[in-house]
Structure 1
Amino acid sequence: MRARPGMKSLALSLFLTLTTMATAHAVPGAAGAPAAPKPVPGVQTAPTAPGAATAQVTAAANTPGPAVERITAVPPAFSLTHQNTQAGTDALVASRLAGKVTLPTLLGTDPAGDDPWTKRRSMRDCVDRERLALPPVPTVTAWCWDSAFGDDTTREWLPQGMSTTGAADGGDGRIQNRAAVAVAWRYQPLTTNSGCQKYNDVRVSFIDHDTGQYQHVLLVEPTSAAGTDFKAIPAHAGGIVWYGNHLFVTDTAKGIRVFDINKLSKVHTQGRNVTTIGVDAGKSSACGLPYVLPQVRHYSQTGGCASATATGALCHSWLSLDKTGGKPFKLVSGEYHTVGYGGRIARYALNDFGAASQPGLLALTDNKTQIHDAYAIQGYSHVQSGLTWNDTQGGPLNFAFHSSCGTVPNIFARTWEGDTRATRTNKCTAPDPADPTRRISTGNWAAGVVQGLDRWPVRGTGTPTGTNQQVNELWGLTEGICDKPVREDEKTIDSCANLTPEESRSRRTVFAVPFGSAEVQDRH
C-alpha cells in the first residue's frame, strides 16, 4: 500500500491518542462498603413532578462520583410479562421447516447448493487502520469481518449485541461441544423499499471460535400457535445473551425475546436472489438465508419505554450475563441514552436449567419477571453495553461499560458500587486548549463505535481427555464504518480522516483482551 501524504502521521497520532491520552486512574485495592439503595424517580410508587427525574440524573452526572448508584425497583417497575410461543415454534420445526440443524453442523458444513452467498464465511485479520478499531491493549483475539460479500462494510446490516458460549454452560465454555461467538445484526434499509428485509430485522452470526468461520441465521417468530407460518422479528438487538441452549435478545421498547438453539432449522429455498419469507405452498424461505432460529418466549412490556427522561418502563438496549456472587444467576439489562448522562440497569433472576418450572429462563411470579436489583448510571453517556460481576461473594458489585462516540477513540470504563471517584472519561472529545480550531481525544478505547461486551472465563478443548483452561477474556465488538464526512476540527483524531482508496473503510471488529489485566481494569 502506498501511503498518502500525512497518513502515517495521522495513524501515529491516533495510536498515541489511544495508548496514552486517556488511560485512567489506577483502581484502589479496596472499594469500601456498598452505598445504601437510593430511591430514584421513575421506579417509585410516589408521584414525581414532570421533568424532575431528568434534572436529577443530569445534575448528578456533572458532580464527582458515584458513577453508579443502586436504586429501589418497586414492582411493577421494570417487570415484564411472560408470553410462551413454544407451541408455534414446535409446530414450525416439526412440519413447516426443512429440518433441524445442530450447532456443529451449522459451523462445520455448508448448506446444499452452489450459491456462494449462502456458504460459511471467515473472520480475517484486521488490516491498516482497521486496527484502530481494536482496544489499545494486547489482544487475545482480533478479527475483522469477511470482505467477499461486504460484511465488513455493509451499510444495511449493523452489528450490535454479542455473546459467547464462554459462560453459557456450566463447565467448559462450549455448547454442543462448540466454542462459539454470537453477534446480532439489525437491518437498516438504505431506501424506504428494500424488498424482503425490513427495518430492524435481526440476523445472528454464529462464529466458530476455533476456525473463525461463521454463518448468518435469521431470527423469526411463528405467526400463530398452530405454527403454520413465520415472520421476521423487528428488534434492535442491541443486547444478546447466550445461556445454555437459550439466546436472549433485546427488543428495546418491547422487552426481551428468547430463542432456543435446539430449534435451529433449515429452510427449503435459499440464495441471494430469494425475496420471500415464510411458508408458501409447503416451502419455507427466509429472504435468502439458509437457516432460521424461531422464538420460544417473549418477556414483553407495552406502551414503549422512556430512557431519555429516566422515568417509566426500561429501554432494553443491552444485555449481559452475571454468574458471579452466588445464585440466582442474573440477566443484566441496561439502557442507552442518546442525550445527557444516565441510564438504568435492571438485573433479572434466572432459573437454573434443572428448575422444575421455566428451566433456563427468567424466574416468574404471577407470570411476571423477578427483579434482583437495579441501578442508575450517573457518570457515563451513550452506554452501548455493560457487565456486572462480584470479585468475591458478598463484595462490592463491579461494572464495566462500553460508551460509544463514532470513529474517534471510544470509552471502556470499570467502576463499582460505592466508587466515589469523579468520572474522567465521560466524553470522547474536548476542545484543544492550545488551538480553538481543533478538538482532542479524551477516549481510551477502540475507535469504531463500540457495542457488545461479554466475559469468557473458561474454555475446554472439546475432547474427552482435554482439560479446561482458565482464559478469563473480555470480548467486545465495534460496528463502525467510514461512511460519513469527518469533522474538520477532529481530523487529527478521527480514524476515518484522509483515507486513501487502498485503505479499508471498515472499523468493524470482534476482539478479546485479558479481562484481569490492569490495562483493562484500571480504565475509568
Structure 2
Amino acid sequence: MMHRGRHRRRRRGVALRAVLTGTALALTAAATLISTSQAQVAERPGALTPLTSPADTGRLRLRERLVPARTLDRLAAAMGRPVGVDSVLADADRTLRTGPDCSGADRESLPVEPSPTRAYCWDPADTDATDWRPASVTTSGDADDDGVWGTHRVVLSGWNHSTRTGPRAERGLARVAFVDTDDPGRPAYRWVLLVVPVDGGRDYRGLGSRVSSMVWYQDKLLVTARRGGSAALYVYDLDRIQRTTVDAPAVGRVPGGWSADGYRYVMPAVGSYSFAAGRCSPTGPPCPGALSLDRGTAPVSLVAAEWTVPGSERAARLWRYAFSTDPRRAGLLATNAAGQADAVEEYRTRVTGIRGVLSYREAGAERTSWYVGRLPGSRDGHGGLWRQDTRGATAAECGADATHRCWAESAGSLSYWQETGEVWSLSDRMLFAVPLAELDRSLG
C-alpha cells in the first residue's frame, strides 16, 4: 500500500498572489448582478437551536460496516496492485481554464458577493451537452494539516450523472475529478469512478448513489449516499485506487478484464455508515446533504447538514461526529465497542435547501460560526450563504434590492483549506475559492 510523504511546501508568494489578483480583478469586472425579477429577499433564519435530548441525538447514531480485508485483497489480486493519488495526478489528461478564459455564462454562475479570488471552468468535454453535474468538493487541506498530499496540492470534485437521461450504463454513477493545483494557472485533472465491491471482491458495481458532498481526511474519502439502500455515508481509501484494463461501456468484470465505462481508474468502497434507527426521513434520521471537515475541534470532526426541500417549512438539522484518534483507524469516525458513532453536537436551523456547510471558530471567539449555503426556493439562479450561531444569522446583500441571493448558482458543498485560509466551493459550471476573511466581511 502506498503512503503519503510529509513534504511541506510553502506558498508560492508573489507569483501566486499575482495570478490570483489578476483573476480576481477579471472576475470582478465580469460578474453580473442578479436581476430584479430573480431576486427574492429570503426570510432571516434566525439563531441556531441546540438539540440535546436523547430522542433527537439518538436518531443520529451511525453503525459502521467495513468491507472485509480479504474482499479488497481479492479484488486487488485480480486487478493488479492498487495505486495512490500521485499516480492518478501523473496521468492527468484534462486541464481547467482560469476565470478570464471561461465563457460569460460560466462566470455568471459565480458568487456576486464576495467575488472569488480564483475560479476555474472545466474542460468543455465535461460540461457541454453531458448529463454529468458537479456537486461536491474537498481538498488536501482537509486531508492533511499542511495542505499537501505527498508533494501535491490537490482538489477533489465529485460529480453525479442523471438517473433518467444519457447512456444507460452511466445513469446514476458518481465520479471524482482529481485536480493537481500545484500550478494555479493551469490545474490538470483525471477522473476516477466510484464503485462498490460485490461477490466477495470478485466483481464491482457503480456506486449508484448521488454524492452531494464529501470529505477527504487522512487517507479516507467519506461521501454522502442519498439513493437506494440505508447507507448514509460510503468510505473510500485513497491508497486503494485500481486501474481498469478494458475500455468498454460496462462497469465491472467483463470478458478480458475490468471495465469502468471508459474510465481508466476506479476506487472501490472500503466501508459504509448507516443510521442505526433506519433510513432517513422527516421524522427519523436526517438525510445528509452536505459535509465538511472542522480542524478546529479536538478531535477533528465531520460536520453534516440535513437536506430539506428549498422553501419548505421543515427545519433542517446540523450536527457533527468526531473522527477516531486511533492510528489503526485513520480517517474513520470514532466508534464505541459496538461499532457505533454518536453525534457530539446537534442544532436545528430554519435554512432550507442546504447544499454546503462549514463550522469554524476563530481563535478567542465565544461561539462557533456555522456557514450554510442554500439553493433558492425556485431551484434556479443564485443561492444564498448564511452565517449562523446561537445568537442570530447574517448574510451578504447584493443588487439594487439588497437580495440575499448573492452566492453561486446551484452551489455545491464547502471546504475550508486551513493552510491557505480559503473556502472552496463550486457552481454548476465552475470551481472557485474565496478567502474566509472576505467571506466574513461580506456577511457583515
The TM-score range, normalised by the shorter chain, is 0.7 to 0.9
Residue number among 390, 411, 436 corresponding to 2:384 in the alignment: 411
TM-score by length of 2: 0.81
Partner of 1:79: 61
Distance apart, 1:316 and its partner CA: 1.1
Residue number among 435, 438, 454 corresponding to 2:415 in the alignment: 454
> Is 1:160–2:135 an aligned residue pair?
yes
Do the aligned partners of residues 390 and 143 (structure 1) sit closer, same or farther apart at CA in structure 2, a change above 3 Å counting?
same
Partner of 1:237: 211
Partner of 2:46: 66
Task: Supply the AA of the counterpart residue of 1:382.
Answer: G
Partner of 1:133: 109
Partner of 1:464: none
Distance apart, 1:96 and its partner CA: 2.0
1:228-286 Cα offsets, whole Å, 9 max, x none, are 1111112211110010111000013621111000001111112xxx2121123461111
Residue number among 143, 146, 163 corresponding to 2:123 in the alignment: 146
- Structure 1 gaps of 5+ residues are 1-10, 25-60, 111-118, 433-439, 459-470, 480-507
Say whether the 8 Å CA contact 2:94–2:123 is kept in structure 1: no
Q: Distance in 1 between matches of 2:364 and 2:234?
A: 30
Q: Distance in 2 between matches of 1:320 and 1:332?
A: 5
Any idea what SS the aligned residue of 1:130 has?
Answer: helix
Partner of 1:514: 435
Any idea what SS the aligned residue of 2:60 has?
Answer: coil
Say whether the 8 Å CA contact 1:73–1:371 is kept in structure 2: no
After TM superposition, list the pairs within 5 Å mapping 1:192-231 onto structure 2. 194-199=167-172, 201-210=173-182, 211-224=186-199, 226-231=200-205
After TM superposition, list the pairs within 5 Å mapping 1:196-345 onto structure 2. 196-199=169-172, 201-210=173-182, 211-224=186-199, 226-252=200-226, 254-270=231-247, 274-281=248-255, 283-301=257-275, 303-306=278-281, 309=282, 311-325=283-297, 327-338=298-309, 339-345=312-318
Distance apart, 1:13 and its partner CA: 12
Q: Distance in 2 between matches of 1:222 and 1:516?
A: 43
Distance apart, 1:198 and its partner CA: 2.9
Partner of 2:346: 374
Q: Distance in 2 between matches of 1:234 and 1:385?
A: 22
Any idea what SS the aligned residue of 1:248 has?
Answer: strand
Q: Distance in 1 between matches of 2:63 and 2:347?
A: 21
Distance apart, 1:94 and its partner CA: 2.6
Do the aligned partners of residues 153 and 413 (structure 1) sit closer, same or farther apart at CA in structure 2, a change above 3 Å counting?
farther
Task: Supply the AA of the counterpart residue of 1:234.
Answer: G
Say whether the 8 Å CA contact 2:383–2:409 is kept in structure 1: yes
Task: Supply the AA of the counterpart residue of 1:145.
Answer: W
Do the aligned partners of residues 234 and 446 (structure 1) sit closer, same or farther apart at CA in structure 2, a change above 3 Å counting?
same
Say whether the 8 Å CA contact 1:96–1:229 is kept in structure 2: no
Say whether the 8 Å CA contact 1:124–1:146 is kept in structure 2: no
Partner of 2:91: 109
Do the aligned partners of residues 515 and 154 (structure 1) sit closer, same or farther apart at CA in structure 2, a change above 3 Å counting?
farther
- Structure 2 gaps of 5+ residues are 1-27
Distance apart, 1:515 and its partner CA: 0.8
Residue number among 445, 456, 465 corresponding to 2:406 in the alignment: 445
Q: Distance in 2 between matches of 1:185 and 1:248?
A: 14
After TM superposition, list the pairs within 5 Å mapping 1:4-23 onto structure 2. 15-17=32-34
Distance apart, 1:128 and its partner CA: 1.7
Q: Distance in 1 between matches of 2:162 and 2:49?
A: 35
More helix by percentage: 2
The structure with the largest alpha-carbon Rg is: 1
Say whether the 8 Å CA contact 2:278–2:284 is kept in structure 1: no
Q: Distance in 2 between matches of 1:393 and 1:257?
A: 35
Distance apart, 1:17 and its partner CA: 4.2
Any idea what SS the aligned residue of 1:452 has?
Answer: coil
Do the aligned partners of residues 146 and 303 (structure 1) sit closer, same or farther apart at CA in structure 2, a change above 3 Å counting?
same
Do the aligned partners of residues 305 and 247 (structure 1) sit closer, same or farther apart at CA in structure 2, a change above 3 Å counting?
same
Partner of 1:187: 161
Partner of 1:488: none
Say whether the 8 Å CA contact 1:181–1:207 is kept in structure 2: yes
Distance apart, 1:190 and its partner CA: 4.2
Say whether the 8 Å CA contact 1:346–1:373 is kept in structure 2: yes
Any idea what SS the aligned residue of 1:392 has?
Answer: coil
> Is 1:386–2:357 an aligned residue pair?
yes
Partner of 2:9: none
1:52-85 Cα offsets, whole Å, 9 max, x none, are xxxxxxxxx96x7633221125253211111111
Task: Supply the AA of the counterpart residue of 1:256.
Answer: L
Q: Distance in 1 between matches of 2:53 and 2:187?
A: 42
Task: Supply the AA of the counterpart residue of 2:69.
Answer: A
TM-score by length of 1: 0.69
Give percent identity, aligned residues only: 26
> Is 1:346–2:324 an aligned residue pair?
no
